[in-house]
Amino acid sequence: MRWFVVLLSFFFASMPAVAQDPKVNVELLSSRTTAAPGETFTVALRQDITPGWHTYWRNPGDSGEETKLHWQLPEGWIASDILWPAPTAHPIPPLVNYGYDGTLILPVRITVPENAVTGTPVVLKARATWLVCNDICIPESAEVIYTVNIEQDSITDDASASLLADAVAALPKKADAVLSLVLMRPKAELDVSVLGLGALREAYFFPEDGALLDHAAPQVLRGNTLQLKTSDSLPVALPTTAAGLLRYVTESGTRGVVQVSSAVTVSAPSTGDAFAADTSGSVSIETALLFALLGGIILNLMPCVFPILSLKALSLVQKNANVKKARAEGVWFLAGVQASMLALAGLLLVLKAGGAAIGWGFQLQYLPFVMAMTLLFVALALNLLGFFEITGRFQNIGDELTRKHGGTGAFFTGALAVLVATPCTAPFMGAALGFAFTQPAAVTLLVFAALGLGLAAPFLLLCWVPALARRLPKPGVWMQRFREFLAFPMLAAAVWLFWVATLQGGADAAAWLLGLIVLLSFKVWLARVWPKAGIALLVLFILGAGYALFTVTPTRSVSSELSKGSWSSAAVDAALAEGRPVLVDFTAAWCITCLVNERTTLSDDAVKAALTEAGVVVLVADWTNQDALITAELAKYGRVGVPLYLLYRGVPGETPEVLPQILSPSLMLDKITTLGKPQAAH
């Protein structure tokens, strides 16, 4: 789900007005002073919005809340939904919202029942609620009333009728359109082609469905097709229809806004223009296969793979095999690579069919795999350093499989090469695999096969071209030293995987991994001096590793999310009693500035790490729904809306520092670094 699409429903019906000086003045207008039974006429909520402030459209965009009318009408009277005028986009990086400023007319159609009694006045009453935002967001509300007389002949309110007629005439009209939702990985497009408008120069689409599009992404007009990016939170059950407003300018200079609504067709993208909208550019199947082949070749140089392939190449020199046996070994190596690569591709396809968003190296998102790979790389490093040279039935299986004679050793070396390659990514691979994930299963498997062929190509070439093998240096002491040297890229890869595991599993994962590494090292040493004990220790290591891999639970680290609690006066007092600083974040899901501060500052890795290091207790006062205690606390600091940030320095009974409403990482880091110093007057 895209990180800033957090709009939640906000129930205004039970909220009292919180602003003494409202930012929006409202009144109810009517085109009739007298209405006839059975007649339908227009009323409207007029909003006069303070300059610099804005209210919201029916789809507010990335945050906000639409204006609502809660009618209290006599029995039989019917009020339509609000007839929404075209909004404007309000970019507040990294968010975009849809709304209005200035004077806004929101028409509603009122239908009088046929049996309405003439000669009587009828009160049209509604409770209007809205959210108005600038640097802060304030929920406001008001009661609006208009009295209409019921007579046989209707009478127009001349003062309002013309204004409402103009407002209705300016509402977007329906237009024929063809909408096509084009699915791609990792993104998607919504193509909107509007008929009968002629050539378009500019266009902007406002979707009615707030979960459909990435509101902040650029909208690209190509010909008469507007290419958009769908939201990361696009539901698994794709919509069958899409609707919205299209603001346009034609090549002839005609401007307008039209309503578009159409059935949505889902289709695979072409290998040209649709994929070209992504950053990887236009990729054909031929280009993808070439890129996969090149990426596989370059994978041989990665620190994860190079030691394995180097050892296998040097084994040709040591064994001095004849051409026929060498070529057979190369084919078996290729078979091992392709078997593992296609098995990996098949697993990716199965997970993708189940709705998972996965890609190359997806296994690293799972803590057990990362821990297992860390141990494997340590074991391979110990092997390269010569700890597995003893003979015996239970000596290192990986060493036996990768160094033994014939097809079996070559096959398992190829399989091992794919396994250790999964944490690595080579140039050209991104475009090739990005293309593969958008294609049918057969094409995906073909691209992975090309990647496997590239990975196997260098060793295969050495096996099949004797002249190349003869160019390798002659056997000597240097081979043993080179083999030992290759252990250090493996250890470096193990350190990196250990770091990944600690981010995913925290201190528990780190402790288990370090313990298992010590146990593994002790096992290979003990096997030299006491083989039987080494066998028993191997069994203990396997049991310990299995227990660790399936019991250590993933956790969130400082780099992913701060640990936050819910605000209350008692929670603040308890933290201050312990001498701990406190940061209180008064926020709401519909607050624009709150979201921007959260995503650009409070979620910044450096800020989160500094807060944690300083021992700051972070408490969140969520005002998404009405909360009398939070409202009272805001009033204590002269606020009628959020955001509000209070920083307590850790002294019981102190007055907190009120931070600016617009935060930045540098400002927060400055404030955190002064927590141990006396507070300056402000």
Type of residue found at 235: P
Instruction: Give me the count of residues in the chain.
Output: 682
pLDDT of residue 169: 93
Is residue 18 in a domain? no
Q: CATH number, domain at 36?
A: 2.60.40.1250
Strands 255-267 and 177-183: parallel
Which domain-ending residue is among 118, 139, 170?
170
> 97 pLDDT band (50/70/90 cuts)?
very high
3-state DSSP call for residue 27? strand
pLDDT exceeds 50 at position 659: yes
pLDDT exceeds 60 at position 276: no
223 phi/psi in degrees, rounded to 5: 65, -125
pLDDT of residue 275: 30
DSSP line for 433-492: HHHHTTS-HHHHHHHHHHHHHHHHHHHHHHHH-HHHHHTSPPSSHHHHHHHHHTHHHHHH
Q: Work out the percent of the chain whose per-residue pLDDT is above 70.
A: 72
3-state DSSP call for residue 644? strand
Lowest-pLDDT choice from 134-138, 205-209, 271-275: 271-275
Q: In this structure, are 158 and 190 located in the same domain?
A: no
Q: CATH number, domain at 199?
A: 2.60.40
Q: Do the Cβ atoms of 370 and 504 come closer than 8 Å?
A: yes
Give residue-wise pLDDT tens across range 439-456.
777 888 898 899 889 888
Q: CATH number, domain at 610?
A: 3.40.30.10
pLDDT exceeds 60 at position 675: yes
pLDDT exceeds 60 at position 629: yes
Q: In this structure, are 408 and 521 located in the same domain?
A: yes
pLDDT of residue 99: 96
pLDDT exceeds 60 at position 396: no
> 357 pLDDT band (50/70/90 cuts)?
very low
Q: In this structure, are 30 and 59 located in the same domain?
A: yes
pTM above 0.85, yes or no: no
Which domain-ending residue is among 251, 276, 301?
276
Beta bridge partners of 35: 150
Is residue 9 in a domain? no
Tokens 């500035």 correspond to what residue? Answer: 593
Lowest-pLDDT choice from 252-256, 356-360, 660-664: 356-360
> 17 pLDDT band (50/70/90 cuts)?
very low
Q: In this structure, are 510 and 618 located in the same domain?
A: no
3-state DSSP call for residue 650? coil
Q: Which residues of 8-40 are buried (b: 16+ CB within 10 A; e: fewer)?
A: eebebeeeeebeeebbbebebbbbbbbbbeebe
pLDDT of residue 654: 78
pLDDT exceeds 70 at position 283: no
Q: Which of 147, 179, 426 is nearest to 296 (CA)?
A: 426
pLDDT of residue 425: 55
Q: In this structure, are 337 and 236 located in the same domain?
A: no
> 46 pLDDT band (50/70/90 cuts)?
very high
Q: Which residue has the higher pLDDT, 320 or 371?
A: 371
Give residue-wise pLDDT tens across range 552-566.
555 433 333 344 578
Residue 431's domain comprises 285-551
Give residue-wise pLDDT tens across range 307-340.
777 766 666 655 555 777 778 888 888 898 899 8
Out of 117-131, 352-366, 497-511, the most confident range is: 117-131
Type of residue found at 262: S
Q: Do the Cβ atoms of 330 and 322 come closer than 8 Å?
A: no
Q: Side by side, which strands form the sheet with 24-30?
A: 24-30, 40-49, 103-111, 78-79
Is residue 593 in a domain? yes
Give residue-wise pLDDT tens across range 584-620.
999 875 565 676 788 789 988 899 999 999 999 999 9
3-state DSSP call for residue 575? helix
> 13 pLDDT band (50/70/90 cuts)?
very low
pLDDT of residue 561: 38
> 288 pLDDT band (50/70/90 cuts)?
confident
Average pLDDT score, the chain: 77
- Average pLDDT over every residue of 396-408: 48
DSSP 659: -
Is residue 15 in a domain? no
Question: Vertex 245, ends 240 and 249: CA angle to 5°?
Answer: 130
pLDDT of residue 390: 39
pLDDT exceeds 80 at position 132: yes
589 phi/psi in degrees, rounded to 5: -65, -25
Is residue 236 in a domain? yes
> 403 pLDDT band (50/70/90 cuts)?
very low
Lowest-pLDDT choice from 58-72, 237-251, 395-409, 559-573: 395-409
Number of H helices, E strands in the chain: 19, 25
- Average pLDDT over every residue of 242-269: 82
How far, in Å, CA of 458 to CA of 460, rounded? 5
Q: Which of 45, 289, 223 is nearest to 144 (CA)?
A: 45
pLDDT exceeds 50 at position 280: no
- Average pLDDT over every residue of 463-481: 69
Question: What is the 3 state secondary structure string of 594-607?
Answer: HHHHHHHHHCCHHH
pLDDT of residue 552: 57
Q: In this structure, are 296 and 430 located in the same domain?
A: yes
Which domain-ending residue is among 170, 192, 219?
170
Q: In this structure, are 73 and 88 located in the same domain?
A: yes
Q: Which helix (H) or strand (E) holds 163?
A: helix 158-169
Q: Do the Cβ atoms of 640 and 19 come closer than 8 Å?
A: yes
Q: In this structure, are 46 and 102 located in the same domain?
A: yes
pLDDT exceeds 80 at position 653: no
How far, in Å, CA of 402 to CA of 410, rounded? 6
Q: Which residue has the higher pLDDT, 192 or 437?
A: 192
> 525 pLDDT band (50/70/90 cuts)?
confident
Q: In this structure, are 162 and 180 located in the same domain?
A: no
Q: How many distinct structural domains can be found in the chain? A: 4
Q: In this structure, are 229 and 359 located in the same domain?
A: no
How far, in Å, CA of 310 to CA of 315, rounded? 9
Q: Which of 487, 530, 493 is nearest to 382 (CA)?
A: 487
pLDDT exceeds 60 at position 75: yes
> 139 pLDDT band (50/70/90 cuts)?
very high
Q: Do the Cβ atoms of 452 and 444 come closer than 8 Å?
A: no
pLDDT exceeds 60 at position 472: yes
> 471 pLDDT band (50/70/90 cuts)?
low
pLDDT exceeds 80 at position 183: no
Q: Do the Cβ atoms of 598 and 564 come closer than 8 Å?
A: no
Q: Which residue has the higher pLDDT, 189 or 534?
A: 189
DSSP 365: G
Q: Work out the percent of the chain whose per-residue pLDDT is above 90.
A: 26
Q: In this structure, are 643 and 661 located in the same domain?
A: yes
3-state DSSP call for residue 188? strand
Is residue 1 in a domain? no
CB atoms within 10 A of CB 671: 23
Q: Which residue has the higher pLDDT, 332 or 408?
A: 332
Q: Which residue has the higher pLDDT, 643 or 9?
A: 643
Q: In this structure, are 310 and 455 located in the same domain?
A: yes
pLDDT of residue 655: 84
pLDDT of residue 623: 74
> 270 pLDDT band (50/70/90 cuts)?
very low
Is residue 17 in a domain? no
Q: Which residue has the higher pLDDT, 105 or 532?
A: 105
Q: Which residue has the higher pLDDT, 279 or 612?
A: 612
Q: Which residue has the higher pLDDT, 155 or 295?
A: 155
Distances (CA, A) of 517 to 229, 366, 535, 537: 46, 19, 16, 13
In the numeric block, which tokens belong to residue 645? 């940030």
CB atoms within 10 A of CB 419: 18
Is residue 11 in a domain? no
Q: Which of 459, 449, 448, 450 is nearest to 332 (CA)?
A: 459
Question: Vertex 325, ends 322 and 329: CA angle to 5°?
Answer: 130
Q: Which of 666, 657, 381, 367 is nearest to 512 (CA)?
A: 367
